[in-house]
Amino acid sequence: MSPSRAAAARKLPDAAPVFAALGDTTRLGLLGRLSAAGPLSISRLSEGTGVTRQAITRHLDALERVGLVRDDWQGRERVFSLDAKRLEIARQYLDHVAAQWSAAAARLKAFVENDLP
């Protein structure tokens, strides 16, 4: 990314690279577990990861900043759950672009094949 683009991205909160947050196996794993068994507390999410609670908390905070998870307090525990709305927007968008490309590919095929002698 060029410096000007990076600066533009920083200025726009909505330009936060939501899925850059997924470019990390620990964070992907956290989302997977929240998806399957959420909401979960930080201690539950730390179990079996081989990563410290502090590190897990940092990862969860990173996911929360881009709106992929949200936290609530249950008594003295911070409990995290998946915020599916953003994932859903990103997925719908991609489905839509995919449909456009399928249509374009079909037009390319028809264009070339109809042109053959």
Partner 1 sequence: MTASAQQAQDKPVTDRLETRVVVNAPRSRVWRAVSTAKEFATWFGIQLDGEFTAGATVRGRITIKGEPLTLDLGIERIEPEHYFSYRWHPYAIDPKVDYSKEPTTLVEFRLDEIADGKGTAVTIVESGFDRIPLARRAEAYRMNDKGWAGQSKKLVAYVA
Asked if residue 108 binds partner 1 (CB under 8 A), the reply is: yes
The alpha-helical segments, DSSP class H, found in the chain are: 3-11, 25-37, 42-46, 53-65, 84-115
Measure Cα distances from 87 to 21, 25, 49, 99, 115 in Å. 12, 17, 24, 18, 42
Q: Which residue in the block uniquely carries the two structure tokens 């997925």?
A: 91
Find the binding residues for partner 1 in span 63-92 (CB under 8 A).
86-87, 89-92
Contact indicator for 87, 68 with CB cutoff of 8 Å = yes
14 binds partner 1 (CB under 8 A): yes
Minimum distance of partner 1 from residue 110's CB (angstroms): 5
Question: With contact defined as beta carbons under 8 Å apart, do 80 and 71 qualify?
Answer: yes
Nearer to partner 1, 20 or 55 (CB): 20
Q: Does 93 help bind partner 1 (rule: CB under 8 A)?
A: yes
Smallest gap, in angstroms, from Cβ of residue 3 to partner 1? 12
Query: Which residues would be at the binding site for partner 1 (CB under 8 A)?
Result: 1, 4-5, 8-9, 12, 14-20, 22, 28, 31, 86-87, 89-116
